Amino acid sequence: MDSIRITGMVFFGYHGVFAEEQKIGQRFYVNVELYLDLAAAALSDEVSDTVDYGQVYKLVRDIVEGEPKKLIEAVAGEISNRVFAEYPQVMRIVVEVIKPSAPVPGIFDQVSARLDRNRNRNSADLPVQDTGSEVHPSERS
Helix (H) or strand (E) holding 27: strand 26-35
Q: Please say if the pLDDT value at position 137 is more than 90.
A: no
Q: How many helices (H) and strands (E) does the chain have?
A: 4, 4
Q: 32 with 77: CB under 8 angstroms?
A: no
The whole domain housing 18 covers: 3-139
Q: Residues with catalytic annotation?
A: 99
The answer, yes or no, to whether residue 96 has pLDDT greater than 60, is: yes
pTM of the predicted model over 0.75 = yes
* Number of independent structural domains in the chain: 1
CATH code assigned at 97 = 3.30.1130.10
Q: What is the pLDDT of residues 25-48, one digit of tens each?
A: 999 999 999 999 999 999 999 999
The per-residue pLDDT for 92 is: 98
